[in-house]
Structure 1
Amino acid sequence: MGTVVLLDGPVFVTYSTAIVFSGTEMYDSYDPDRSWDGQRNGLCGAGAPGALQLVIGTHTGEVPIVVARYSSEPPVEDRWDEVVEVSFEPASAEVTLLGLDGSEEHPLDLPRTRYRVRYCASGLDQADTTPEPADRYLLQFWPAPPAPDRIVRQTSSQAAYWHRVHRQIPMSPAEQATDDMVRSREQEREDRRRFGDRVPPERLRAVELWLGDIQAIDADLMWALAEADDETHRGVARWAALRALHVAGLDREPALTPALAALRSGSPMPKPFDQHTFWYAYKDAVPDTFVPRIPGTAFLPEGDDEIVKQQWYALPTISSTTHPDSLTAALETVVGAALVHGPDQYREFLRDLWQTFPQLHHVTAGS
């Protein structure tokens, strides 16, 4: 089997994209929107005539890419994590590989004929995590008649993501099984990052908040709220907001009277207090008081450092109570109220919360 190495070196890429283009004026004739037309793989787009769009793990920077031409089909090497195949025919005798911005072109000696192309990648999930490139690539060409693209090997979460995003042909049962397996591994890694060894209920897993603050304040409360019902969530949120406003000295502000009445009665929050940005109009109209930040928390409505301006944290708890997801409303409001209390008083606030809502069974962390 004859082999000719066409390129072996770093290629500068931007926006996680490299392009194989045949012609002289790429931006006049290449339509990137067609790259994935009729494809099942999402790493090497061959839908636009005379071009290939390559997904790269690194967003911006130099990555090692080897391009080789073969006289016949080469074997698939075990060292590659991701392998896909497409068909390609150059539109001219001039073929180049370049990053998306096209600042540096790498000519490829590819005579005009029909090719099968194998795109191999490794380290996609590790890209952009180390000073040196963790991802690497191989692009192989050999003469072959046109055939549908295919996914030969898929292992990383990044590859699974791009296959899902760019896919225009339904997955086969085998591809679906592989995708489900990768998704399961992705979810397990994310759960361990957010929750440690404890498996979260789906309701808690779906919360989009940064949960590090509630875990630093009272991890047991987070788990207990995750198992509570919507009515308890709303009750906790209203109670916590009222406590925050009282501690911050805002429960005597006439302008907040409609919001306070709604919190006390459990009635719908009137406008504009149901909008999360309402507090910007009030934050500079009330006196400021400060407490130190609770260690381990990072919730920053206004970019504070180690000092919490109590009013700037208390005011947003009003609209937090109205969040469409009741669990998010409870968690967000409790964190805000705890920060308003500060490191010297937040434990008393939490003790009162547990006593006020006995239905929140104290769940021991790790049980």
Structure 2
Amino acid sequence: MRTLFNGEFSVAYGQMYIDSRTDPDEGPEAGLHECFLGQSAGLCGAAVPGHLFLLTGLHTGSVPLTVELHETEPPLDFGGWQDIVETSFHTASNDTKLIEWGGGGWDIGLPTGAYRVRYHCRGMDEAHDGVRSEDEPVLDEYLLQFWPAPPKRDRIVKKTSNIAAYWHRFASELPPPPTPEELAETRRLALEKQEREARDLQERLERRAWGGCLPSDRLRNVGGNVAGMVDLDVALVHAIDEAGPDIQRAMARWAAHRSCDVAGLSGVDWIGRGLAELDRGVPFSPPLDEEARTWNLLFRDPQVPDTIVTLPDGTPHASQQAMALPALTGAAHPDPLQAALDALYAAAAAHGTGWRDLFAAVRTAFPETAHAPLPPANRPPGHAEATVVARLDWRPDKEPRHEP
């Protein structure tokens, strides 16, 4: 025989536990009802695999407790103990702990295996609902014995106290525990619910990020400065996506021209040549065919003006020419949607605080973008409209539609 624990042990709500589960969150909950399902005996609940639920007479305080490991079944001590029950227990790991109600635990060194458990109780009626500290007289005490044995039904070995009779009646009136198949189905349904809730949360967050309307797959996966455009005018972004590749390509060229015009770049010979090549749909000639050379020339060419602009996000003293040039290079991107969004974003930066007027001109030049179609299934909650209306702070002007 080996003593695994011997001393005062804290209990609360008349409970203490043995637990060997590596992840208590997996599997059934180890609550009072769950641990006694299908048992005829109370006091020691073993219906949850890898867990024992031990009941005491004392409500709060410390009780003398001894835990023993025997090689074979020990002899019964009918005279020294008032209430005795037996049940079967199989450890779930090598880490078996004696656990307090609040969560503190001590490793008792119980090897992995299948055991018979005998729980001995004395003084339960005297201690019922009592409170005791270690230096006060003992009211109730307990002995827990383990020995290797195959599983079999729990049983009441000796019954004396009213408290034990109450818990035996409580256990006997509970239904049988769920079968392994039922537990698996419960876990499957819980996992499905968790995954469904995660998808719903992701969709709500995505709707919020995209102005209440889920993006198309193309818009969701497009690269470039789509996030910047969403921050400026999400309704316009959806409208550009719906407009189709021909309108997107025309819009990219339009934005490149507007950007270079406002920054005074259209009259620079190599940039003007690049605009013409963009309109014809042919590759850029040097220096625009190589990024490093393009930027190097932008800051060295005396033809290039040097003006500053306050960006749409409020950043002051930005180089207007550095903001404008990416509209030209971005407009040539192979993906027409990304080309339109990148060119417009750069053009908005080049226009600075006048970016709203630029977007108003976009809607005038390209009427397809005045409203963003929104399917009913994509409608934000509480919105009856079938479209996302363009921003209220843009004003149309008289500029005719640009036809490159």
- TM-score, with structure 2 as normaliser: 0.43
Structure with larger Rg: 2
